[in-house]
Amino acid sequence: MDVFNQKRLNDKPISGTGIGLRSPHVNEILTDLPEIPWFELLADNHLVEGGLIPLQLEKICQHYPVTFHSVGLSLGSVDPLDMNYLAKLKKIMKQYDIAWLSEHCCFTSVAGFHSHDLLPLPYSEESLSHMVNRISQVQDFLGEQILIENVSSYMKFAETTLDEADFISELAEQADCLLLIDVNNIYVNHINQGIDIDNYLTSLPAERIKEVHLAGFDDRGDFILDAHNNPVAEPVWKIYESLIQQIPHVPTLIEWDNDIPSLQRILDEAQKAEVIADKYRSGNFNYAVS
C-alpha cells in the first residue's frame, strides 16, 4: 500500500507550506492565482454536486495541488461507517486527483446523531482496536492510505490506559496508516492535560508523518481552546521547530477557520513556517499574493 501512495504523492507534489482554503479567499485566489504551493480543503464542504462549489473545486484543482481534510468520517464511532459519505469522498477524490485524505482520531457521531465537533476517545485498548479496524476499512475502500490527525482534547477519561502519542503511534503501526501531526493540538493538550511534549515528539514514528498542521488557539483563562482564530503562538512555533527538524521535507499547513484575516496575513504565517523548515533543508518558497 505504501508504494501506491508514494506514487500519488509524487504525482501531486504536496510540498512546502500550504494553507487551508476558506471561502472568503476563493474568489481572490481564482482571480489572482497567487503562488501558493498547495491547498487543503475541508472535504465535507465539497461533497455537494450542484452549483458553484464543484466548479470552484475544479478550478482550484486545475491550478494547485490539493489535499482533503474531513471531519465527518467519525472513525472512532461505534456506528457503522457511513458508506454513502465515503463513496462520495472516493468519487470526488478520484475526479479531481486529490493527493490524499486526512481525518481525525476522534468520533463526531453516534446512534445516528451528529455533534459536528471532534469528540475525543478514551485512549484504551478497546478504542485502539476499534480505530484500527475502522481505518483499515476506509483504506481498503479507498485503495490508499489515509492520514490520521491528533486532536485537541479537553477531557480525561478514566478508561484511558495509553499516552496519546503511544496511542497514535500504535494506531499508525497497526492500521498501516499515515499521520498528520497538529502541533497546536499538542500544545493545547500540554496546557490543558499536562502531556509531556518532548516525550510526545520522540514517541512518534517520524517515517509515518506526511503532514504537519499549525494553527492558533484562544486563551479562555482556565484552559486554551483550539479555535483556529489566531496567529500561531510562540510556544507552538518552538514545538514546530523541534518536530520539523526531524522531518524537514514533510509539508506543513496553516489552518485559520474563525475570525479569518486577509489571505496575505495567512501567507505570512506560511512564510514563517517555511523559514523555520528551510533551516533544515535546501530550497525555499516565496509567498506573494500578487
Partner 1 sequence: MPLANIEKTFMDNLLKSSVKESEFLTQLLPLSSLTKEKQLSIYKSNVNGAYQKVLGQVYPACLNILGEDYFNQLCRAYRFKYPSTDSDLNNYGEYFTVFVKEQSDLHDELNDFEYLAELALLEWHWHASFYADNDSSFAFEKLAKVEPSEQNILIFILSNSFSLHSSIYPVLDIWKANKSSVEGNQEFSMPEAETYFCISRVEFTPKITLLNNYQYELLKSISNGLSLTQLTERDFIAAGDFQNELTRFIQNGWVTGFSLLELRD
Binding site residues, Fe ion, CB under 5 A: 182, 213
The option from Fe ion, partner 1, none interacting with 213 (CB < 5 to 8 A, set by class) reads Fe ion
SS3 28: helix
Q: Is the separation of the CB atoms in 103 and 85 below 8 Å?
A: no
Select 3 or 111, whichever has its Cβ closest to partner 1: 111
Q: How many residues bind partner 1 (CB under 8 A)?
A: 46
The option from partner 1, Fe ion, none interacting with 4 (CB < 5 to 8 A, set by class) reads none
Q: Is 257 in the site for partner 1 (CB under 8 A)?
A: no
Select the span of 32-40, 140-148, 186-194, 205-213 touching partner 1 (CB under 8 A). 186-194
Residue-wise DSSP of 204-245: S-GGGEEEEEEE--EE-SSSEE--S-SPPPHHHHHHHHHHHT
Q: Is 87 in the site for partner 1 (CB under 8 A)?
A: no
- Beta strands 107-110 and 113-119 are antiparallel
Q: Is 83 in the site for partner 1 (CB under 8 A)?
A: no
Select 4 or 154, whichever has its Cβ closest to partner 1: 154
The option from Fe ion, partner 1, none interacting with 78 (CB < 5 to 8 A, set by class) reads partner 1
Among 10, 50, 198, 290, binds partner 1 (CB under 8 A): 50
Q: Is 264 in the site for partner 1 (CB under 8 A)?
A: no
Torsion of CA 170, 171, 175, 181, to 10 degrees: -110
Cα separation, 103 vs 136, whole angstroms = 13
Q: Is 121 in the site for partner 1 (CB under 8 A)?
A: yes
Q: Is 133 in the site for partner 1 (CB under 8 A)?
A: no
Place of cell 456506528: 79
Residue-wise DSSP of 32-91: H--B-S-EEEEGGGG---SSHHHHHHHHHHHHS-EEEE-S-S-TT-SSPP-HHHHHHHHH
CA-atom Rg of the chain in angstroms:
18
The binding site for partner 1 (CB under 8 A) comprises: 44, 47-53, 55, 72, 74, 76-78, 82, 85, 107-117, 119, 121-122, 124, 126-127, 130, 154-159, 192-194, 222-223, 225
